Amino acid sequence: MLGRYLVISNVFYLNTNNYFFMNPQKLYKELFSHFGEFHWWHADTEFEVLVGAILTQNTAWTNVEKAIANMKKERIITLRKVADCNLSTLKRLIKPAGFFNQKAVYLRELCRYILNNYGSLKKFYTKDLQELRKELLSLKGVGNETADTILLYSAGKPSFVIDAYTLRIIGRVFDQNMRYVEVKDWFETTTKKDTKHYQHYHALIVEFAKKYCQKKPKCQNCFLNKKCKHAQMAFK
pTM as predicted: 0.88
* Domain count within the chain: 2
Are 112 and 131 contained in the same domain?
yes
Q: Rounded to 5 degrees, what are φ and ψ at 143?
A: -100, -170
230 — pLDDT class (breaks 50, 70, 90): confident
Instruction: Write the pLDDT tens digit of every residue in 123-175.
Output: 999 999 999 999 999 999 999 999 999 999 999 999 999 999 999 998 998 88
Averaged pLDDT score across all residues of the chain = 89
Which of these three, 154, 180, 206, is where a domain ends? 154
Inside any domain, residue 41: no
17: pLDDT strictly greater than 90: no
For residue 72, the enclosing domain spans: 47-154
Q: Rounded to an integer, what distance in angstroms lies between the CA atom of residue 107 and that of residue 49?
A: 12
C-alpha 231: how far from chain center = 24
Q: What's the confidence (pLDDT) of residue 21? A: 56
Are 191 and 220 contained in the same domain?
yes
Determine the average pLDDT of the residues in 67-94: 98
Q: What's the confidence (pLDDT) of residue 22? A: 74
236 — pLDDT class (breaks 50, 70, 90): low
Q: What's the confidence (pLDDT) of residue 16? A: 32
Are 229 and 168 contained in the same domain?
yes
More confident call, 157 vs 231: 157
| CATH code for the domain in which residue 17 is found | 1.10.1670.10
5: pLDDT strictly greater than 50: no
Helical residues (DSSP H) of the chain, grouped into ranges: 24-35, 46-55, 61-73, 79-84, 87-94, 100-118, 121-124, 129-137, 144-149, 164-172, 180-190, 195-211, 229-234
Q: Rounded to 5 degrees, what are φ and ψ at 7?
A: -115, 175
CA separation (Å) from 216 to 53, 61, 146, 231?
A: 26, 20, 26, 12
11: pLDDT strictly greater than 50: no
C-alpha 20: how far from chain center = 27
